[in-house]
Structure 1
């Protein structure tokens, strides 16, 4: 393949600098030059467009397609894998070229994308969610039955742990199954019937074991953490990212700054729950009540974290809401005080850094993977952005519109 020249557009390079007129040259899946007056063997006309790095979503569940529990228990076991293929395609069409799956996707789904069996963004996977008995990832219901969005199988081992020894065993089992990041619940959550998002789960000793096991294998830990005390426990243990962060207090924010912990807000998630219920989804009243209660306090917490300078990466909890609508999160991030350039940097270079891929993804710069999104008009107009994406390229290959 020769040199592909993306010519005549405005370039947002992913660093947070403002857009500037420029060209991008791609060859053999890599960006080889960014500047003006460049040449190439094939020209892609970007006149009137903004050229972005491929976007990230650092919190998705590709085997989940909504939060309707009645629907979930009625689906055949294998149906989730076909839905995952559809969800990955929709995510890619939204300009998301890289995702971190926060529970559910196994190694087979990741490899199917890597090997070109199904179209989708590149994936970093956690396989399953580590929960204590009665915690946010424990799908036990008052009936005595388990009714969660996915059940364990050979590629997705069970991940309930109580005590340091069980935590060590579960961590090693998930790493053996292909987990590149370990996901743990350090608080309750909205979509679990028997706990409170403000209450802590797992002891500091259990979390220390988990981080040690991940670190010994060159991996890191992400934490579903909504209540302030559970956030603090996660940060003190050395967990790399806090997911949601609904009830942050000043001490939690200060600790996150001190430890350089990332926040992945997922502001759209509770809104998606309420929309699903309005559309007829069957959820317990307790879950609906919690979703209603957290919307405003969630936004307030993220706003305070942004003002303090906490590092932010983009994530949506897609799967709770529809896949392919990921970019709704960007306007919500801007409403929490981030500038448009900061929002796009959080969705590109900052997310790449969080995932440990900051030296190869998230920027338009020589030597980086050639992931590009071509947006008609101004990419800072987030409300119109989903309908303005014209082309998506991954590793120097146009994947949207999809070629045959």
Structure 2
């Protein structure tokens, strides 16, 4: 079998160790050696750059494109599936080889990627976000109409539920639809115009049922959680990851440490909302005001969580912002106090552990899947990463190479 040698640059292995000069050898889709002075039948030249595990984005929405109510009303139902194909390609080409879709993508989209019908990263699905009536995922408007971001269809049930027994049945339906993780909104949010990100949603008995039903199927729960009380309710009841975590207080951070919960910051998201509004996207004034309001608190919460030792995994909420801009999140994490190695680890090995795939990918070690990215420049430089991705590889096979400069 052909041995492919990634050589001539530095190797970042997906752990908390700094990159160093070295080689990676791939054979039959798997890493077989990591070291120095290795050999191979074919060579991928990494001179002037580094090879890393493929990047993870643990919070995307591949069926969304910077949505507004007007855009949703004017978009044909089936267009979302074609948009997902384009968004998956853009995500893969930026070096992200694994994503967790946080609502919208159904089993058919993942199957299309797995069968090679659509180029894209490996996917985990949440199908739809559970929301209480009047919560972040309830798209009822004051005019009396429902304009959902995610129209229910046979592969994607409604996520609006109330009470433990409704919750129990809906979780089972979402698992039946092909979910790899259950998602819940335990607070209000930014894009929902009539709720408050600080207010807690769902009661403990409802959240506990979600976690129990997920666990019975071998799955975990991720929580859209921005206000401190909703974060604490989620963690207290066994939720594995807190998405956003904008208004963390010290008690919430201590709970996350005690329960081993991850933070997926999505610092990219409120900035994307602000940029979209400035570009003319017709967003409600309340949504734009909330995006501005949360920005400073968001950075401070991530900084304090990191300093305390909370585990962090990279996520962007792309779909709220443009797909293909995923790697902007790395510089934003650095601005929140994470060092370059901490940022890269959050985007590789830590993210793989959150998603439960650390035995398959996310680090560079013999036996693991050869999902790799070659990046120009130094691993300590987290700026302009999108333009610096030289090549992307799935199972050692090149799936994207940056076009040569004219």
Q: Same fold (TM over 0.5)?
A: yes
SS class of match (1:199): coil
**Residue 66 of structure 2 corresponds to which residue in structure 1?**
66
In the aligned structure 2, how far is the partner of 1:213 from the partner of 1:247? 28
Shift of 1:336: 1.0
**Residue 231 of structure 2 corresponds to which residue in structure 1?**
231
User: Retained in 2: the 8 A contact 1:187–1:226?
Assistant: yes
Deviations 1:37-60 (Å, cap 9, x if unpaired)?
111111111111111110000000
In the aligned structure 2, how far is the partner of 1:160 from the partner of 1:190? 18
Shift of 1:68: 2.2
In the aligned structure 1, how far is the partner of 2:149 from the partner of 2:10? 42
**Residue 208 of structure 1 corresponds to which residue in structure 2?**
208
SS class of match (1:24): strand
**Residue 75 of structure 1 corresponds to which residue in structure 2?**
75
Shift of 1:402: 8.9
> May I ask how many residue pairs the two structures share in their alignment?
403
**Residue 12 of structure 2 corresponds to which residue in structure 1?**
12
Shift of 1:384: 2.0
Unmatched segments (≥5 aa) in structure 1: none
In the aligned structure 2, how far is the partner of 1:237 from the partner of 1:251? 15
Shift of 1:149: 2.0
Trace 1:308-319 onto structure 2 (pairs within 5 A): 308-319=308-319
**Residue 257 of structure 1 corresponds to which residue in structure 2?**
257
**Structure 1 runs of 4+ with >6 Å offset:** none
**Residue 281 of structure 2 corresponds to which residue in structure 1?**
281
Deviations 1:71-113 (Å, cap 9, x if unpaired)?
1110100000110000000000110000000000000000000
SS class of match (1:31): strand
Trace 1:48-197 onto structure 2 (pairs within 5 A): 48-197=48-197
User: Retained in 2: the 8 A contact 1:379–1:385?
Assistant: no
TM-score, reference length from structure 1: 0.98
Deviations 1:178-205 (Å, cap 9, x if unpaired)?
0010000000001112210000000000
In the aligned structure 1, how far is the partner of 2:44 from the partner of 2:355? 30
**Residue 332 of structure 2 corresponds to which residue in structure 1?**
332
In the aligned structure 1, how far is the partner of 2:224 from the partner of 2:256? 15
Unmatched segments (≥5 aa) in structure 2: none
Shift of 1:262: 0.2
User: Retained in 2: the 8 A contact 1:141–1:193?
Assistant: no
In the aligned structure 2, how far is the partner of 1:143 from the partner of 1:150? 19
RMSD: 1.1
In the aligned structure 1, how far is the partner of 2:126 from the partner of 2:395? 23
Deviations 1:119-150 (Å, cap 9, x if unpaired)?
00000000011001111011111111122322
In the aligned structure 2, how far is the partner of 1:17 from the partner of 1:296? 30
SS class of match (1:314): coil
**Residue 379 of structure 1 corresponds to which residue in structure 2?**
379
SS class of match (1:7): strand
SS class of match (2:384): helix
